[in-house]
């Protein structure tokens, strides 16, 4: 995910300061890793440097003075271009689970036990996400984000089932090389 473009998108609704942008990011993308304040301010500085945002004054709201930022015309154009680009499917799939299965075979470990343990961890995360998305009053953004994660976890589980069924053949191939 492009923090730069996410912040531009949040600024598209009107001038904001870094604290507000961080709070709104964490609200709008509830299942994403929360942004660190340092990351927000560093990204804002880069947006200003690159002419995509500009300082729109300061605001104190009875507290410390905060710098307000707004999107420039150039920033709005880049945001629209980025939002319209098709995200290409990854050309290479990095699969840590598969790597651990192969390394387990190579090192004389128990890949079947590893897959069982990994499956249990995936199932626990799926239970957590299901609880999040079905909690009373859950907003649609949270439900959709949880659904996305659940579908990816489900795909991993299906892959683990297929791999477990083929471990004998995989072990023979790995050992033969």
- Structure-block tokens of residue 147: 């659904």
142 within 8 A of 31, measured Cβ to Cβ = yes
H/E stretch holding 58: strand 53-59
CA–chain centroid gap for 147, Å, is: 13
Is the distance from CB of 56 to CB of 70 less than 8 angstroms?
yes
Q: What is the maximal distance between C-alpha atoms in the chain? A: 71
pTM of the model: 0.71
Q: How far apart are CA 71 and CA 50, in angstroms?
A: 11
What residues contact 146, with CB distance under 8 A and at least 6 apart?
31, 129, 130, 132, 133
CA distance 148 to 151: 5
- What pLDDT is stored for residue 59 in this prediction? 78
Q: What is the pLDDT along the chain (177 residues), one digit of tens a residue?
A: 689 999 999 999 999 999 999 999 988 887 778 889 999 999 999 999 999 999 998 877 777 888 999 999 999 999 999 988 887 776 766 688 988 999 899 888 899 999 999 999 999 999 999 999 999 999 998 899 899 999 999 999 999 999 999 999 999 998 887
Q: Residue for token digits 């709070």?
A: 23
């Amino acid at each position: 995910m492009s923090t730069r473009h996410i912040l531009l998108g949040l600024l598209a609704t009107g001038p904001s300061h870094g604290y507000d942008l961080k709070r709104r990011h964490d609200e709008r993308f509830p299942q994403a890793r929360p942004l660190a304040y340092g990351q927000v301010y560093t990204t804002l500085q880069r947006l200003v440097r690159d002419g995509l945002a500009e300082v729109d004054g300061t605001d104190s709201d009875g507290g410390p003075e905060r710098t307000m930022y707004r999107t420039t015309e150039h920033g709005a154009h880049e945001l629209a271009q980025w939002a319209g680009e098709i995200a290409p499917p990854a050309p290479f799939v990095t699969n840590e689970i598969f790597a651990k299965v192969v390394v387990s075979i190579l090192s004389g470990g128990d890949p079947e036990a590893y897959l069982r343990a990994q499956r249990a961890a995936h199932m626990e995360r799926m239970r957590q996400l299901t609880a999040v998305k079905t909690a009373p009053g859950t907003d649609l953004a949270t439900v959709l984000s949880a659904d996305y994660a659940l579908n990816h976890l489900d795909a991993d589980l299906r892959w683990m089932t297929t791999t477990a069924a083929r471990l004998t053949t995989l072990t023979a191939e790995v050992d033969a090389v």
